[in-house]
Structure 1
Amino acid sequence: MAVYTEVSQSDLENLLQDFQLGQLISFKGIDGGIENTNYFVTLCGEDQQESEYVLTLFEDLNQDEMPYFVELTTWLADRGCPVPFPFKDSNGIGLKTLHNRPALLQPRLPGNHIEALTAEHCQQIGAALGQFHQAGRDFYLQRQAHRGVFWWRRESQQIASKLSTEDAQLLRTEVTLFEQLREQPWNLPQGAIHGDLFHDNALFQEDKLSAILDIYNACTGYLLYDLAIVANDWCVNPDGSIDPQREQALLTAYDQVRPFEENEYLAWPQLVRTAAMRFWLSRLIPALDPNTTQKIKDPEEFRRILLQRIATPAALP
């Protein structure tokens, strides 16, 4: 989360008139993150109780793209998934516009980010992701990944001249291997996926998972690929190696909610490599761009994970 677009008190008060949730007490920009502008907003209701909200302004997504996320988060929340969902105004409209950007007002869910991840944390996020996927398999809208296979192919070619010969070849190889996987007659389960469920997109309250945040990379994709993204973040040691206890807890808990299908056992070793490649590539692009205004995250972290996944092939339990 971050602040790219400044919001004034009068901006907020004008927006809040539509919602009738109470009087504005305070608001504060949220630092961190990469893509969107976020504010904590405190309101006082008619009962004189203060309530906390999050206002998000979308810097990259346009108005035409937003209904997918409005409907998906509402769909998931209605099915018990701990995700923030947009409030609707007195006219039943959740999607607003502020400073020519799509905007949503959502509840501020309780909890804090966890840095020292344990097997218990991984067990909880595994079960929650299984629930997310089960709820999203029959979601009635579809969306192509913003940074999917066609993006990987194009960007890996464009960035190749800025890389060592070895790294450029590594990227090309992983893109090709995923394309070969897609051609297999495996009929891997697909549905709505989170697409970015790193541990800083989850909250825990008293060591219990309380929220899954930042659904705005969600799309229609392989459910197992989404799980691979989680495994490559929640279960990784600083050197890029995998903590087997944490990964076992993650995968076992997920399997208990959404049992793995036969062909997913075949696809898993490649999908964890693909997930590592995708985030290595998306971090390389701004890191190698001298004109970027994006917050830089270390691409080497995911290169190490990719090399570890190649050296030690993964397996589902």
Structure 2
Amino acid sequence: MAVYTEVTAQDLNRLLADFDLGTLVAHKGIEGGIENTNYFVTLSDPDGLEQEYVLTLFEEFTLEEMPFFVELTSWLAERAVPVPAPFKDRDGIALKQLHGRPALLLPRFAGTHVHPEELSPAHCTSIGTALAKLHLAGSDFYLQRQAHRGVFWWRRESQQITSRLPEDEALLLSTEVRNFDTLRAAGLDLPMGVIHGDLFHDNALFSGTDVSAILDVYNAATAYLLYDLAIVANDWCVNADGTIDPERERALLRAYNAVRPFTDDERQVWPQLTRTAAMRFWLSRLIPWLGIAQATRQGGEMKLKDPAELKRILLHRIEQPSQLP
């Protein structure tokens, strides 16, 4: 979460005039994150009770791209998945615009983020269960979406970036792109459906060791379910040096498997998908880090994250592949 577009009280009051949620008390920008502008919004209802909300302005998506996310979060929330589904105005419309950006007014969930050094096997058990339930709840969702940073994106971007990389990194990147193409062509039994696509630890809230919310569902797409789990494993189970904590990963994988059992083919490709997931986020960090296609937004440039972290994870996944239960 971050603030790229300034929103005034006057802006908010104009938006809130369409809703029956109450009157504005205060709003505050939420720092951190990368892609969107977010504010905490406090409203007072007719009885004088204050409620907390989140306003999100989308800095990369057009209005035409947003219905998928509006429908998906509503679908998941109706099936008891703790994701923020947008509020609808008195005419039944959720999707709004502020300063030319798509905007949604969302619930603010209780719970706290867990620092990476504090992530435990219990946290990994909880998120493994929650992710499997999300995948099952989305299995019959009626819309599909191609990931905006999926296979076609990383094929294109990896070719454009290789001339800016040391020879060993260029080879590593191109090899991992080819490996995934080989996997896709193999015709294996790899269940597909709605994935979160970006479920890093800072996109979840906890009450104790129980997941209370899964946030930032705006990388969701139709893809291999196991790829989503690989993204989670590479973040929730990683040590500071890029190695994987086997105890946390076992807890994650066993909890997920208890809800949605793995296929034999998924067990076969798991080592490669952990590498693919690391490659994807390594690449997405490399591009702005090198100043290539630097994304800019009103109010400042895109926040940068060190790509070396994901390269270390990728190398570890190559050297010490793990197995599904």
TM-score between both structures, scaled by the size of structure 2: 0.96
Give, in angstroms, the shift of residue 210 of structure 1: 0.5
Matches within 5 A, 1:136-285: 136-285=138-287
In structure 1, what residue type is equivalent to 2:309? E
In structure 2, what residue type is equivalent to 1:97? Q
Which residue is equivalent to 1:67? 67
Q: Secondary structure at the match of 2:21?
A: coil
Q: Percent identity?
A: 66
Q: Say yes or no: does 1:114 pair with 2:122.
A: no
Q: Secondary structure at the match of 2:67?
A: helix
Query: Runs of 4+ in structure 1 displaced over 4 angstroms?
Result: none
Unaligned runs of 5+ in 2: 295-300
Give, in angstroms, the shift of residue 187 of structure 1: 3.0
Which residue is equivalent to 1:41? 41
> RMSD between aligned alpha carbons?
0.9
Q: Secondary structure at the match of 1:197?
A: coil
CA 270–291 in structure 1, closer or farther in 2 if over 3 Å, else same? closer
For 1:19-71, what per-residue CA distance to the aligned partner results, in whole angstroms no more than 9, with x for missing partners?
Answer: 11001000001001100000000000012110000000000011111000000
How far, CA to CA, are the matches of 1:304 and 1:166 in structure 2? 13
Which residue is equivalent to 1:95? 95
Q: Secondary structure at the match of 2:63?
A: coil
Give, in angstroms, the shift of residue 205 of structure 1: 1.9
Q: Say yes or no: does 1:132 pair with 2:140.
A: no
Give, in angstroms, the shift of residue 207 of structure 1: 3.1
In structure 1, what residue type is equivalent to 2:143? L
Give, in angstroms, the shift of residue 148 of structure 1: 0.7
Q: Secondary structure at the match of 2:39?
A: strand
Which residue is equivalent to 1:309? 317
For 1:91-116, what per-residue CA distance to the aligned partner results, in whole angstroms no more than 9, with x for missing partners?
Answer: 00001111111000000001111011
Give, in angstroms, the shift of residue 291 of structure 1: 7.9
Give, in angstroms, the shift of residue 313 of structure 1: 1.3
How far, CA to CA, are the matches of 1:176 and 1:202 in structure 2? 32
Q: Secondary structure at the match of 2:32?
A: coil
Report the more deviating stretch, 274-283 or 204-213.
204-213
Q: Secondary structure at the match of 1:64?
A: helix
Which residue is equivalent to 2:21? 21
In structure 1, what residue type is equivalent to 2:203? N
In structure 2, what residue type is equivalent to 1:286? P
How far, CA to CA, are the matches of 2:323 and 2:139 in structure 1? 24
How far, CA to CA, are the matches of 2:225 and 2:170 in structure 1? 28
How far, CA to CA, are the matches of 2:272 and 2:140 in structure 1? 26
Count of aligned residue pairs for this structure pair: 317
Give, in angstroms, the shift of residue 206 of structure 1: 2.9
Report the more deviating stretch, 224-233 or 288-297.
288-297
How far, CA to CA, are the matches of 2:22 and 2:157 in structure 1? 47
Which residue is equivalent to 1:3? 3
How far, CA to CA, are the matches of 1:233 and 1:272 in structure 2? 11
In structure 2, what residue type is equivalent to 1:185? G
Q: Secondary structure at the match of 1:97?
A: strand
Give, in angstroms, the shift of residue 290 of structure 1: 7.3
In structure 2, what residue type is equivalent to 1:169? L
Q: Say yes or no: does 1:77 pair with 2:85.
A: no
How far, CA to CA, are the matches of 1:205 and 1:28 in structure 2? 23
